[in-house]
Structure 1
Amino acid sequence: MRTAHLDAPFALARRRDGDVVRLALVAGDRIRDLAPADLGAADLNAFLAGGDWARVAALAAAEGDWMPLAEAVLTAPVTPRQVLQTGANYRQHVIELVAAGLSKGGDRTPEEARQWAAQMMDERKAHGEPYFFIGLPACVTGNDEPLVLPGYSDVHDWELELAVVIGREAFRVSREDAMDHVAGYTICNDITTRDLVFRPDMKEIGTDWYRAKNAPGFLPTGPFLVPAEYVDGPDTQVRLELNGEVMQDATTADLLFDIPALISGASQTMPLLPGDLLLTGSPAGNGQHWKRFLRDGDVMTGSIRGLGTQIVRCVAEQAG
């Protein structure tokens, strides 16, 4: 598995060693395993709750039992207990979905739908609140495993997202204090089966995120967990290529609700726990816009500045 150069001085990762997954430290083009004694914590989530990042930084600069990063098989760098996802948080993304007829825009023409969606998003930004829904932690996987495309649909779509990794527990925190609860960031690709988003038999209920987003492996994550201080969360590039062709290319500066607003909003209902993932939304350029969905043999290359590159290979589900 190939990964892009790590811009940060170091990052955390998890690598497969046979049937065992080991916590690891990445620095440049090297990787080494970490033991609980190295972290001064029982496990990764305990470390994220308030561990000493300076201690890890010192290990990144020290001699040790390093191996080439290119030889490591990396999996998802986190083991969240909760996954919160943010809907409709990039202005242009929602406009595209509405214009494509996938969202509830009524009987408007595409241009009328665009105008209606633009007004809706501007109103939300001025007076609204973030929209959250819940993902299943069991869907979190690494790009060491292929993405199996379920045979019950032909419209599986990509949504590359910057994901916040929670550090210290956050419960009913203010926007001003929200960033004190961020341990770092990673890459997520929120795979969505578009024809399952709305239930034709229960239109009055609305979206069915459980069926549309929670098939096995539908949340490729990683490969790195980069400490928050090394990532420009408010303005970092989010870029996805499909078989080498650019599909998504935007920056987080286009978020309707910024990262502090998302953390504060999500924490009002339930505590966010160390190691949890909070996805920030996906920019324009999904398959629904391009009228091109994932197929057997597709390769998605998702890059977020400062976080490296995630490579996801798609395979069709085998019948029977």
Structure 2
Amino acid sequence: MRFARCGASGAEKPVAVVDDTTYDLTPLTDDIDGAFLESAAARVREAIAAGSLPVADIEGSRFGAPVARPSAIYCVGMNYAAHAAESGSAPPENLVMFMKAPNTVVGPHDEVRIPRSSTKTDWEVELAIVIGKQASYLDSPEQSADHIAGFTIANDLSERVWQLETSGGQWSKGKSAPGFSPLGPWLVTPDEVDHADLRLRSFVNGEPRQDSSTSDLIFDVPYIVWHLSQYLALEPGDVIMTGTPEGVALSGRFPYLKAGDVVELEIDGLGAQRQVFA
């Protein structure tokens, strides 16, 4: 099952794709948020069986982020060994976590403005986990699956000067500019994808940048959810960005983003994003 939010910014309508048919979810919920995600898949299947969901036409519609504004965005840093190396760091022995402001979330194809005075705006394709059930003090990584609503694509945009040089030691300053968290287009339920082996790719102006697989994650999806639950309570609708592979501008191999650049991201089974930078 795939969920999406389609329509003008601030007026998105929830839809679901089941067996190649797109259904309007407004008879069930006003939005795809944490409250809905706790029982989303079961409710949708029951409503389809009852014939209570109209078919939706989303051809040509704008896609918003597939989950309404989360209460938190947690991010895992340096979670691919090759990316840690290109950043000048050894692979972490302990999971690195930082946070992004929830108001950074935009749709997968929305224009993104390079922040005022930015000189090092960077791209990062990432697999994102969306939480569907509160997770607190899980007993083991094996329990994580019960708390995941699905997966989506994230661009963990970063301003590297602010993140690393004027940060004061914390990364979030360089991660929280407006528009710095494009999500979507789809929230795909776990039964439809193998999160342990998904190909991630990014392109800038049509030129390849990143090409890796989630099989190369240092800390995998079940471990991430379990580990974070030992330190905080994950709430339904929360987003976890799991880290980016090598191939970003921070490596020194590519220029940072400038106005007019086009960034495209793909993850197998989850769709694609495209942002024009202004």
Q: Is the 8 A contact 1:139 1:219 kept in 2?
A: yes
Who is 1:248 aligned against?
A: 210
The DSSP-based 3-state class of the residue aligned with 1:235 is coil
**CA distance in structure 1 between the partners assigned to 2:79 and 2:186 by the alignment:** 24
Instruction: Find the aligned partners of 1:287 and 1:190 in 2 and give their Cα distance.
Output: 13
Contact between 1:161 and 1:238, CA under 8 Å: does it hold in 2?
yes
Aligned amino acid, residue 45 of structure 1: G
The 4+ residue runs of structure 1 with deviation greater than 6 A are: none
CA distance in 1, matches of 2:227, 2:152: 20
C-alpha distance in 2, partners of 1:163/1:293?
23
Task: State how far apart, in whole Å, the 2-side matches of 1:96 and 1:245 are.
Answer: 19
- Residue matched to 1:157: 122
Query: Match of 2:270?
Result: 307
Structure 2 contact 77–243 (Cα < 8 Å) conserved: yes
Structure 2 partner of 1:219: 181
Question: Which residue number corresponds to residue 96 of structure 1?
Answer: 86
Residues in 2 aligned to 1:57 and 1:311: alpha-carbon distance in whole angstroms? 34
Gaps of 5+ in 1: 1-9, 99-116, 316-320
- Give the structure 1 partner of residue 110 of structure 2: 145
Counterpart amino acid of residue 73 in structure 1: R
Q: CA–CA distance in 2 between the matches of 1:131 and 1:97?
A: 14
Spell out, residue by residue over 1:97-129, the C-alpha distance to the aligned partner (whole angstroms, 9 max, x if none).
11xxxxxxxxxxxxxxxxxx4xx32xx4xxx32
% same residue: 34
CA contact (8 A) 1:234 1:252 kept: yes
Asked if the contact 1:29–1:70 (Cα under 8 Å) also holds between the matched residues in 2, the reply is: no
Letter of the 1:138 counterpart: N
Aligned match of 1:274: 236
8 Å CA contact 1:231, 1:306 repeated in 2: yes
Partner of 2:7: 16
Residue matched to 1:176: 142
Match of 1:76 in 2: 65
Describe the SS at the equivalent of 1:185: strand
Amino acid at match of 1:222: G
TM superposition score normalised by structure 2? 0.90
1:293 equivalent in structure 2: 256
- Which of 166, 169, 188 is matched with 2:154 structurally? 188
Post-superposition CA distance 1:163-188 (Å, at most 9, x none): 00101110011212111111100010
Moved more, 266-275 or 16-25: 16-25
Change (3 A) 1:19 1:164: closer
Q: Note the alpha carbon deviations across 1:44-78, whole angstroms, 9 max, x for none.
A: 32221234437348739x783331x4311111011
Higher helix share: 1
**Deviation (angstroms), 1:144:** 4.2
Distance (whole Å) between structure 1 residues aligned to residue 184 and residue 31 of structure 2? 22
Partner deviation per Cα, 1:27-54 (whole Å, 9 max, x = no partner): 587644212x436x98632221234437
Q: Shift in Å at residue 305 of structure 1? A: 0.6
Mapped contact 1:38–1:56 kept (Cα < 8 A): no
Q: Which amino acid aligns with 2:7?
A: R
Deviations 1:217-256 (A, max 9, x none): 0001111100011111111001111111110000001111
Shift of 1:285: 0.3
Q: What amino acid maps onto 1:272 in structure 2?
A: L
Structure 2: which 5+ residue stretches go unaligned?
none
